[in-house]
Structure 1
Amino acid sequence: MRNLAVLLALALPAGADIAPTRATELEHMVLQDCGSCHGLTMKGGLGRPLTTDALVHADRDGLALIILDGVPGTAMPPWRPLLTEAEALWIADYLKGETP
């Protein structure tokens, strides 16, 4: 799994280009779909908090892998069927407060 993180980091530069309309869709998805488990204010619920403070030390590539592949044995589903790696990185950056 660590090798995949390295490959993602090499293949997709920080701030990979996401069209503005897709960015709006991804933001809506985070607020609605992720918010349904992580709380509509992202302060936690069934899932852990996803605030910028809670994720300040989180690795963006690691977050992207969790978004894409989920967490087995938990309620965190894999989103890979619906998202590209660039989109997962965009979401990771968005959650960390680092989107362009």
Structure 2
Amino acid sequence: MPRTLTLAGGLALWSAIAMASDSAPQVEPGRATELERLVIQDCGSCHGLTLKGGLGRAITPDLMQHYDRHDLRDIILDGIPGTAMPPWRPLMTEADALWIADYLRGETP
């Protein structure tokens, strides 16, 4: 019986850790404000101020919902070679990029 409880407890802890690592990224409220401005100003300079398209394609929540948040994070961090989409990795963390991916998908708090 104790071994079963230990196994069950270990599985519960592992599940909690796995869920936490895939949940909304943790950014400070001030950083969230900075990231929102970055999306509007920097992303908006190519994707349009309302993100409905310009030099770059539209990146509105209804369109971004079809993309996995981790794929969007990778595009944000590494850019798209051969296109005008630059890599942002030198300027932000993975948590920042996940926050932006969630923001673009309409999923930020």
In the TM superposition, residue 14 of structure 1 has moved relative to its aligned partner by 1.9
Is it true that 1:69 corresponds to 2:72 in the alignment? no
Q: How does 1:29-68 map to 2 (within 5 A)?
A: 29-68=38-77
SS in 1 for 2:22: coil
In the TM superposition, residue 54 of structure 1 has moved relative to its aligned partner by 1.3
Percent identity among equivalent residues?
Answer: 68
Runs of 4+ in structure 1 displaced over 4 angstroms?
none
**Within 2, Cα distance between the matches of 1:80 and 1:47?**
19
Alignment coverage as a number of residue pairs: 92
> Structure 1 residues 18 and 74, CA, compared in 2 at 3 Å: closer, same or farther?
same
Q: How does 1:1-100 map to 2 (within 5 A)?
A: 12-100=21-109
TM-score (norm 2): 0.80
Name the larger-Rg structure: 2
Question: Which structure 2 residue ranges, 5 or more long, are not aligned?
Answer: 1-17
In the TM superposition, residue 81 of structure 1 has moved relative to its aligned partner by 0.1
Pick 1 or 2: higher relative contact order, CA cutoff 8 A, min separation 6: 1
**Within 2, Cα distance between the matches of 1:82 and 1:49?**
23
SS in 2 for 1:54: helix
| Equivalent pair of 1:56/1:96 in contact (CA under 8 Å) | yes
**Within 2, Cα distance between the matches of 1:10 and 1:73?**
35
Higher normalized helix content (fraction of residues): 2
- 1:62 alignment partner AA: D
The one-character-per-residue Cα deviations of 1:11-40 (angstroms, maximum 9, x if unpaired) are 943212100000000000000000000000
